[in-house]
Amino acid sequence: DLATALNDRGQVRYLRVEFAAAVQDFTAAIECQPGFEVPYYNRGLVRYRLGDFDEAMKDFKKVLELNPQFEDAALSLKQAKLDKEEKEKRGY
């Protein structure tokens, strides 16, 4: 379906380090199918990699709301929290 195709294209763009385009694709996939947890997770990974920990954590929390058994999202959420705290301690 369209949401899966957009998510897949976002994955390709992420691997090509085309982060803005990847985020757009993941967001479009979410808009097509709001209950599809995978694009939230993928968008969270891009946001995490960009250092946007707050937005990444929102995405990971949404994944866990949709699918509490999504272990990678739980681990990613935990890591984003730790990295945000570390960034704040260092003052940047």
**Which CATH number does the domain housing residue 68 bear?**
1.25.40.10
Give me the number of domains the chain comprises: 1
Distance in angstroms (rounded) separating the CA atoms of residues 50 and 35? 25
12-44 pLDDT, tens per residue? 999 999 999 999 999 999 999 999 999 999 999
pTM of the entire predicted model: 0.94
Q: Does residue 57 register a pLDDT over 90?
A: yes
Q: Residue 33's domain spans which residues?
A: 2-91
pLDDT band of residue 56 (cuts 50, 70, 90) is very high
Query: Crossing angle, helix 71-90 and helix 37-49, to 10 degrees?
Result: 20
**Which amino acid is residue 75, in one-letter code?**
L
Distance in angstroms (rounded) separating the CA atoms of residues 82 and 79? 5
Alpha helices of 1-92 — where are they, by DSSP H?
2-15, 19-32, 37-49, 53-66, 71-90
